[in-house]
Structure 1
Amino acid sequence: MNAVSEISPDRRERALAALAEKSDGVVEAIAANADVTPAEILEILPKGAAIIADKERFADIWAEMSTWGEVLFIVHTEDIVLEAEGSLPMGSEGHGWFNIHGDSPIGGHIKKDNCAAVTFVDRAFHGRRSCSVWFMNAKGSAMFKVFVKRDAARELIAEQLQKFEALRDSYA
């Protein structure tokens, strides 16, 4: 992932203009409009809105999130936004993959070595606070995201939000 100082002035200017146009929009759409990566958009968010943890913390972060209860797991590509609700199963490493299986609709195999960083994102999304953990690849896109879930009143679940904030703050 690029560091803020590595973004060329032209790319940074485009990113800032696109972000200013729709600051609480979908990061991938903002990035596409500016012809930059989602990582470059996250990097120019206001201080504290995107906290980056080292990729070596992948398994530790996953293990902590597996205690959060039901979350919203999203895979966002240019072709699909796949959303799955469920708890994160504990993972184990084998044959070059981080394997997740358990009593949850969320399961499969993650190419953990493709993770370049883990970013804790706390920003407005369509007018409401949104908190998520993005597992970023070296191309500057999210491999997948884990969101703090909302209750029936569309408010962030307080206990899960506290766990997100504590985990995020441990990397701030």
Structure 2
Amino acid sequence: MKDLKQKVDELFQDKKMSVYEASKILQVSEFDILNLKDENEFKLVSGDKFLEIIEDLGSWGEVVFIKNTPEFIIEIKLKIDTPKQARGFYNFNGNSGFLGGHLKEDAIANIGFVSTKFMGFLGHSLHFYDKNNNSIFKIFVSRDEKMQLNKTQEEKFFRLKNRF
């Protein structure tokens, strides 16, 4: 029987295969698939870098915040504000156009720097994982109306990735 890496490699011969689709086909998590990729496509850092990373994201301008549920992939363009810490939570202020809400301080166990293709387009994102490597949310480098990556954000993504 083929091992998971071999199955993943075969699926990704289709240049339009996405990590999300492959995870559904193989009935494994997106993390399981990404974890088989090399560091150019997936670099994992400790969740204790959360504040450093989220503060950097505040300088990127409008990014794409994604939350997957089994029935709905929620995509919101917004600016990330540095959260305030209080009572065991990171509190995002929720000002107009900014991310609002409360994230448990110990929720983020790992953070993945991801560079993969979706529908043939290369994209860059940060995936924030819990202790079981389930995705809590994702932040993507934004695109313009012609589907071109924001070059400034792309440069900031690689600069941040290379810090770790």
TM over 0.5: yes
Verify: 1:66 aligned to 2:25, yes or no. no
CA-CA distance at 1:15 after TM superposition: 5.3
Q: Which runs of 5+ in 2 are unaligned?
A: none
Verify: 1:166 aligned to 2:159, yes or no. yes
Question: 2:139 is matched with which residue?
Answer: 146
* Aligned 8 A contact 1:42 1:50 in 2: yes
1:131-154, Cα deviation, whole Å (9 max, x unpaired): 000001122221000000001211
Counterparts of residues 92-111 of structure 1 (less than 5 Å): 92-101=84-93, 102-111=95-104
Verify: 1:135 aligned to 2:128, yes or no. yes
Question: 2:3 is matched with which residue?
Answer: 13
Moved more, 38-47 or 127-136: 38-47
Q: How many residues align?
A: 161
Normalized per residue, the structure richer in helix is 1
Q: Secondary structure at the match of 1:113?
A: coil
Q: Secondary structure at the match of 2:70?
A: coil
Moved more, 84-93 or 33-42: 33-42
TM-score norm. by structure 2 comes to 0.89
CA-CA distance at 1:19 after TM superposition: 5.1
The amino acid across from 1:146 in the alignment is I
| Cα distance in 2, alignment partners of residues 57 and 65 from structure 1 | 12
Q: Secondary structure at the match of 1:156?
A: coil
1:53-80, Cα deviation, whole Å (9 max, x unpaired): 1110001100000110000000012122
**Stretches of 4+ aligned residues off by more than 4 angstroms:** none
Moved more, 100-109 or 23-32: 23-32
* Aligned 8 A contact 1:98 1:110 in 2: yes
Q: Which runs of 5+ in 1 are unaligned?
A: 1-9
The amino acid across from 1:139 in the alignment is N
TM-score norm. by structure 1 comes to 0.85
CA-CA distance at 1:48 after TM superposition: 1.7
1:46/1:136 Cα in 2 relative to 1: closer, same or farther (>3 Å)? same
Q: Secondary structure at the match of 1:115?
A: coil
